[in-house]
Amino acid sequence: MMELEGCAFLAAQAKVKSYLAYWFQLGKRLCIWGGEHTVLPQPVLQGDRYSQAFEACWAYVLSGQAGECFLEDTTETIAQLLSDSWDITPCARCQMPVPLPYHGLPPVHCPCASLPNWPNLELPLPRSPINPRTHLLLLKERLSF
C-alpha cells in the first residue's frame, strides 16, 4: 500500500508541476511566503525539458523554503494541491489546467478570468516539454495510416 501512496504522490507532483508551468507561460506568478513576494521563472521551457530557472523554482517550492505558496489569482496552496484531496483537470472554458477538489465546491473562477483576451487560439498555447524524437515518431505513426 505504501508503494501505491508514493506513486500517487509522484503523480500529484507531476500534475502540479505541469499546472505551474502552463500558467507561468501565460505570465501568472507564484506567490510565495503567503503572498509577500512573487516569482516568475523565465523561460519555462528549454528545448525538450523544463528550464533550469523553472526547475530551481520547483525545487524551492518542494523544499518548503517558499513557505505557503500559491498561483497568482488562486487561493489553493501548492501544499493543498499536492495532497490527495485535489486533482488538476482542464478548465471548461479555456482548457488550461485548474485544480478541482475531490469533495466540495470547485474554485469560484479559473485563473484565466483575469487574463484579457484569453483564451486566444491565435497564439501558441502553453505546453509541456516535448521530446522531438518521440514527437516525430508519433507523427510518423499517424502519417503511416
Alpha-carbon distance of 140 to 80, in angstroms, equals 41
Q: What angle do CA 53, 59, 65 make, to 5 degrees?
A: 115
Please report where in the chains the cell 485563473 appears, as a residue. 111
Number of domains in the chain: 1
> What tens digit of pLDDT does each residue of 24-70 get?
999 999 999 999 999 999 999 998 899 999 999 999 999 999 999 99
Alpha-carbon distance of 28 to 39, in angstroms, equals 9
Q: Per-residue pLDDT for 2 more than 70? A: no
Q: For residue 91, give the C-alpha cell.
A: 478548465
Residues spanned by the domain of 126: 2-143
C-beta neighbour count of 72 within 10 angstroms: 16
What pTM, to 2 d.p., does this model score? 0.81
Q: Per-residue pLDDT for 124 more than 80? A: no
Q: For residue 54, give the C-alpha cell.
A: 523553472
44, 24 contact by CB (below 8 A): yes
